[in-house]
Amino acid sequence: MKRIRYYFLFLSFVLNAQSYPPPSSLITLPTAGTLQRGSFALEMRIQKFGGLTSSISVGLTDRFQLGISYGSANLIGDDSLIWYPKPETNLKYLLIDESETSPGISLGIDTQGLGKFNSGDSLMRYDTKALGLFAVASKNWVTPLGNLGWHFGSNYNFVETNDNDKDVNFFMGFDIEFNPELSIMLEYNAALNENNMTSKNIAISRGGYLNAGIRWTFVERLHIEIDFNNLMFDKKKVDYFNREIKITYIEYF
Protein backbone atom coordinates (compact mmCIF):
# COMPACT_ATOMS: atom_id res chain seq x y z
CA MET A 1 0.00 0.00 0.00
CA LYS A 2 2.86 2.39 0.80
CA ARG A 3 4.43 1.69 -2.59
CA ILE A 4 1.19 2.62 -4.33
CA ARG A 5 0.96 5.84 -2.33
CA TYR A 6 4.56 6.77 -3.10
CA TYR A 7 3.92 5.99 -6.76
CA PHE A 8 1.00 8.41 -6.94
CA LEU A 9 2.95 11.08 -5.06
CA PHE A 10 5.78 10.74 -7.57
CA LEU A 11 3.37 10.83 -10.51
CA SER A 12 1.74 13.95 -9.08
CA PHE A 13 5.16 15.57 -8.88
CA VAL A 14 6.15 14.57 -12.40
CA LEU A 15 2.93 15.69 -14.08
CA ASN A 16 1.70 18.59 -12.04
CA ALA A 17 -0.21 21.58 -13.34
CA GLN A 18 1.88 24.51 -14.48
CA SER A 19 2.19 27.24 -11.87
CA TYR A 20 4.22 29.81 -13.83
CA PRO A 21 3.50 31.58 -17.14
CA PRO A 22 3.82 29.17 -20.08
CA PRO A 23 5.36 30.26 -23.40
CA SER A 24 3.12 32.43 -25.55
CA SER A 25 4.37 30.95 -28.82
CA LEU A 26 6.22 28.01 -30.33
CA ILE A 27 8.20 28.38 -33.57
CA THR A 28 5.62 29.90 -35.90
CA LEU A 29 2.42 28.98 -34.06
CA PRO A 30 0.76 30.48 -30.97
CA THR A 31 0.00 28.82 -27.67
CA ALA A 32 -2.87 29.75 -25.36
CA GLY A 33 -0.41 31.60 -23.12
CA THR A 34 -0.31 35.39 -23.15
CA LEU A 35 2.20 37.99 -22.04
CA GLN A 36 1.82 39.19 -18.47
CA ARG A 37 0.29 42.58 -17.78
CA GLY A 38 2.85 45.36 -18.10
CA SER A 39 5.28 43.36 -20.21
CA PHE A 40 6.31 43.60 -23.85
CA ALA A 41 8.16 41.29 -26.23
CA LEU A 42 10.47 42.39 -29.04
CA GLU A 43 11.06 39.73 -31.67
CA MET A 44 13.28 39.48 -34.74
CA ARG A 45 12.94 36.58 -37.16
CA ILE A 46 15.82 36.14 -39.63
CA GLN A 47 14.54 34.19 -42.62
CA LYS A 48 15.77 32.87 -45.95
CA PHE A 49 16.99 35.19 -48.71
CA GLY A 50 18.08 37.75 -46.12
CA GLY A 51 14.53 38.32 -44.92
CA LEU A 52 13.84 39.95 -41.57
CA THR A 53 10.54 40.32 -39.74
CA SER A 54 10.35 42.40 -36.56
CA SER A 55 7.46 42.63 -34.14
CA ILE A 56 6.50 44.07 -30.79
CA SER A 57 3.74 42.65 -28.59
CA VAL A 58 2.41 44.17 -25.37
CA GLY A 59 0.54 42.53 -22.51
CA LEU A 60 -2.23 45.01 -21.68
CA THR A 61 -3.76 42.66 -19.11
CA ASP A 62 -2.91 39.15 -17.94
CA ARG A 63 -5.40 37.93 -20.56
CA PHE A 64 -5.01 40.27 -23.52
CA GLN A 65 -1.98 41.06 -25.66
CA LEU A 66 -1.65 42.89 -28.95
CA GLY A 67 1.18 43.63 -31.32
CA ILE A 68 2.34 44.81 -34.71
CA SER A 69 4.93 43.44 -37.13
CA TYR A 70 6.68 44.51 -40.32
CA GLY A 71 9.59 43.36 -42.44
CA SER A 72 11.18 42.81 -45.80
CA ALA A 73 12.71 40.09 -47.94
CA ASN A 74 16.32 40.72 -49.07
CA LEU A 75 16.88 43.09 -46.14
CA ILE A 76 20.27 41.47 -45.56
CA GLY A 77 22.30 41.22 -48.76
CA ASP A 78 22.79 43.24 -51.93
CA ASP A 79 19.48 42.62 -53.72
CA SER A 80 16.70 45.18 -53.87
CA LEU A 81 14.43 45.28 -50.84
CA ILE A 82 11.00 43.69 -51.05
CA TRP A 83 9.07 45.38 -48.26
CA TYR A 84 5.86 43.90 -46.95
CA PRO A 85 2.85 45.82 -48.30
CA LYS A 86 1.72 46.96 -44.85
CA PRO A 87 2.31 46.41 -41.13
CA GLU A 88 0.56 43.30 -39.86
CA THR A 89 -1.41 42.82 -36.65
CA ASN A 90 -1.52 40.17 -33.96
CA LEU A 91 -3.71 39.99 -30.88
CA LYS A 92 -4.70 37.24 -28.47
CA TYR A 93 -7.19 36.94 -25.61
CA LEU A 94 -7.11 34.17 -22.97
CA LEU A 95 -10.74 33.11 -22.86
CA ILE A 96 -10.55 30.15 -20.43
CA ASP A 97 -7.87 29.66 -17.78
CA GLU A 98 -5.89 26.44 -17.66
CA SER A 99 -6.63 24.15 -14.71
CA GLU A 100 -5.24 20.88 -13.41
CA THR A 101 -7.73 18.93 -15.50
CA SER A 102 -8.48 21.14 -18.53
CA PRO A 103 -6.47 23.23 -20.99
CA GLY A 104 -6.46 26.97 -21.34
CA ILE A 105 -8.13 28.35 -24.47
CA SER A 106 -7.29 31.55 -26.33
CA LEU A 107 -8.74 33.35 -29.34
CA GLY A 108 -6.74 35.64 -31.57
CA ILE A 109 -5.90 37.21 -34.91
CA ASP A 110 -2.52 37.11 -36.65
CA THR A 111 -2.15 38.51 -40.17
CA GLN A 112 1.65 38.11 -40.43
CA GLY A 113 2.74 35.41 -42.88
CA LEU A 114 6.24 33.98 -43.32
CA GLY A 115 8.78 34.49 -46.08
CA LYS A 116 8.45 37.09 -48.81
CA PHE A 117 5.18 38.64 -49.91
CA ASN A 118 4.32 37.61 -53.47
CA SER A 119 2.76 40.67 -55.07
CA GLY A 120 3.89 39.96 -58.64
CA ASP A 121 0.93 37.69 -59.35
CA SER A 122 -2.75 37.48 -58.51
CA LEU A 123 -2.27 35.39 -55.35
CA MET A 124 -1.06 38.31 -53.18
CA ARG A 125 0.13 36.17 -50.27
CA TYR A 126 3.17 35.28 -48.20
CA ASP A 127 5.18 32.14 -48.95
CA THR A 128 3.50 30.65 -45.89
CA LYS A 129 0.06 32.03 -45.18
CA ALA A 130 -0.72 33.85 -41.96
CA LEU A 131 -3.01 32.23 -39.41
CA GLY A 132 -5.74 34.85 -39.63
CA LEU A 133 -8.42 34.12 -37.03
CA PHE A 134 -7.39 31.32 -34.66
CA ALA A 135 -8.34 29.42 -31.53
CA VAL A 136 -5.77 27.42 -29.57
CA ALA A 137 -5.87 25.18 -26.50
CA SER A 138 -2.80 24.51 -24.32
CA LYS A 139 -2.11 22.18 -21.41
CA ASN A 140 1.13 22.45 -19.44
CA TRP A 141 2.73 20.20 -16.85
CA VAL A 142 5.79 20.50 -14.62
CA THR A 143 8.22 17.59 -14.96
CA PRO A 144 11.55 16.99 -13.18
CA LEU A 145 13.22 18.57 -16.23
CA GLY A 146 10.93 21.58 -16.58
CA ASN A 147 7.78 22.62 -18.39
CA LEU A 148 6.04 20.24 -20.81
CA GLY A 149 3.36 21.80 -22.96
CA TRP A 150 0.91 20.43 -25.51
CA HIS A 151 -0.95 22.73 -27.90
CA PHE A 152 -3.70 22.25 -30.48
CA GLY A 153 -5.55 24.83 -32.55
CA SER A 154 -7.56 25.75 -35.61
CA ASN A 155 -7.43 28.83 -37.83
CA TYR A 156 -9.14 30.54 -40.75
CA ASN A 157 -7.22 32.96 -42.98
CA PHE A 158 -9.61 35.70 -44.06
CA VAL A 159 -6.92 37.91 -45.62
CA GLU A 160 -4.94 35.83 -48.17
CA THR A 161 -7.89 34.38 -50.09
CA ASN A 162 -7.09 35.33 -53.71
CA ASP A 163 -6.23 31.69 -54.39
CA ASN A 164 -9.86 30.79 -53.52
CA ASP A 165 -8.64 28.30 -50.90
CA LYS A 166 -10.67 29.27 -47.83
CA ASP A 167 -10.50 25.98 -45.93
CA VAL A 168 -10.34 25.90 -42.13
CA ASN A 169 -6.87 24.77 -41.03
CA PHE A 170 -5.51 22.86 -38.02
CA PHE A 171 -2.20 22.92 -36.16
CA MET A 172 -0.57 21.32 -33.14
CA GLY A 173 2.76 21.24 -31.28
CA PHE A 174 4.59 20.68 -28.04
CA ASP A 175 7.49 22.15 -26.09
CA ILE A 176 9.63 20.61 -23.36
CA GLU A 177 12.33 22.14 -21.17
CA PHE A 178 15.50 20.19 -20.41
CA ASN A 179 16.71 22.81 -17.93
CA PRO A 180 15.89 26.47 -17.15
CA GLU A 181 17.92 27.59 -20.19
CA LEU A 182 17.21 25.03 -22.90
CA SER A 183 14.00 23.79 -24.48
CA ILE A 184 13.00 22.09 -27.72
CA MET A 185 9.82 22.54 -29.74
CA LEU A 186 8.03 20.64 -32.46
CA GLU A 187 4.98 21.86 -34.37
CA TYR A 188 2.86 20.85 -37.34
CA ASN A 189 0.75 23.16 -39.49
CA ALA A 190 -1.56 21.10 -41.73
CA ALA A 191 -1.74 23.96 -44.31
CA LEU A 192 -5.17 22.81 -45.47
CA ASN A 193 -5.73 26.28 -46.94
CA GLU A 194 -2.80 25.91 -49.35
CA ASN A 195 -3.75 22.79 -51.27
CA ASN A 196 -6.01 23.74 -54.16
CA MET A 197 -4.87 24.03 -57.79
CA THR A 198 -3.82 27.68 -57.71
CA SER A 199 -2.08 27.76 -54.34
CA LYS A 200 -0.14 24.58 -55.17
CA ASN A 201 1.87 26.65 -57.62
CA ILE A 202 3.45 28.57 -54.76
CA ALA A 203 3.18 26.28 -51.72
CA ILE A 204 6.63 24.95 -50.73
CA SER A 205 5.40 22.30 -48.29
CA ARG A 206 4.52 18.70 -49.03
CA GLY A 207 1.59 17.74 -46.83
CA GLY A 208 1.85 20.60 -44.34
CA TYR A 209 4.65 22.34 -42.46
CA LEU A 210 6.63 20.35 -39.90
CA ASN A 211 8.96 22.61 -37.88
CA ALA A 212 11.45 21.95 -35.09
CA GLY A 213 13.35 24.39 -32.92
CA ILE A 214 15.80 24.80 -30.06
CA ARG A 215 15.26 27.76 -27.70
CA TRP A 216 18.10 28.97 -25.50
CA THR A 217 17.56 31.51 -22.74
CA PHE A 218 20.92 33.19 -23.17
CA VAL A 219 20.35 35.57 -20.28
CA GLU A 220 17.20 36.29 -18.31
CA ARG A 221 14.40 37.44 -20.65
CA LEU A 222 16.52 37.02 -23.80
CA HIS A 223 15.70 33.97 -25.94
CA ILE A 224 17.76 32.89 -28.93
CA GLU A 225 16.15 30.30 -31.13
CA ILE A 226 17.40 28.13 -34.00
CA ASP A 227 14.55 26.79 -36.10
CA PHE A 228 14.40 24.12 -38.77
CA ASN A 229 11.27 24.86 -40.74
CA ASN A 230 9.40 23.07 -43.52
CA LEU A 231 11.01 19.69 -42.85
CA MET A 232 8.43 18.17 -45.23
CA PHE A 233 9.54 20.39 -48.10
CA ASP A 234 8.59 19.97 -51.76
CA LYS A 235 11.85 18.93 -53.46
CA LYS A 236 10.58 20.21 -56.79
CA LYS A 237 10.44 23.79 -55.47
CA VAL A 238 13.09 24.04 -52.74
CA ASP A 239 16.37 22.21 -52.27
CA TYR A 240 16.34 21.96 -48.50
CA PHE A 241 14.43 22.89 -45.37
CA ASN A 242 14.67 26.41 -43.94
CA ARG A 243 17.16 27.33 -41.25
CA GLU A 244 16.05 30.40 -39.36
CA ILE A 245 17.05 32.37 -36.28
CA LYS A 246 14.59 34.06 -33.93
CA ILE A 247 15.57 36.45 -31.15
CA THR A 248 13.04 37.44 -28.49
CA TYR A 249 13.51 39.93 -25.67
CA ILE A 250 10.86 40.33 -22.94
CA GLU A 251 10.84 43.32 -20.61
CA TYR A 252 8.50 44.99 -18.13
CA PHE A 253 7.45 48.62 -17.88
- Could you tell me the CATH number of the domain that includes residue 20? 2.40.160.40
Question: How many domains are contained in the chain?
Answer: 1
What is the per-residue DSSP string for 3-57?
HHHHHHHHHHHHTEE--SPPPSB-SSSB-S--PPTTEEEEEEEE-GGG-EEEEEE
Within 13 Å, how many C-alpha atoms sit on residue 236's CB side?
A: 6
What is the C-alpha to C-alpha distance for residues 67 and 54, in angstroms, rounded to an integer?
11
Q: What percent of the chain has pLDDT over 70?
A: 88
How many secondary structure helices (H) and strands (E) does the chain include?
A: 1, 16
**Residue 240 phi, psi (nearest 5):** -160, 170
Q: How many Cβ atoms are within 10 Å of 85's Cβ, its own excluded? A: 9
Residue 224 is part of which domain span?
A: 2-252
Query: pTM to 2 decimals?
Result: 0.85
> Please, where are the H alpha helices in the chain?
2-14
State the pLDDT at residue 219: 80
- pLDDT tens for 148-183 read 999 999 999 999 988 888 899 999 999 999 888 899
- pLDDT tens for 108-151 read 999 999 988 888 667 788 988 999 999 999 999 988 888 899 99
Torsion of CA 228, 110, 30, 192, to 10 degrees: -70
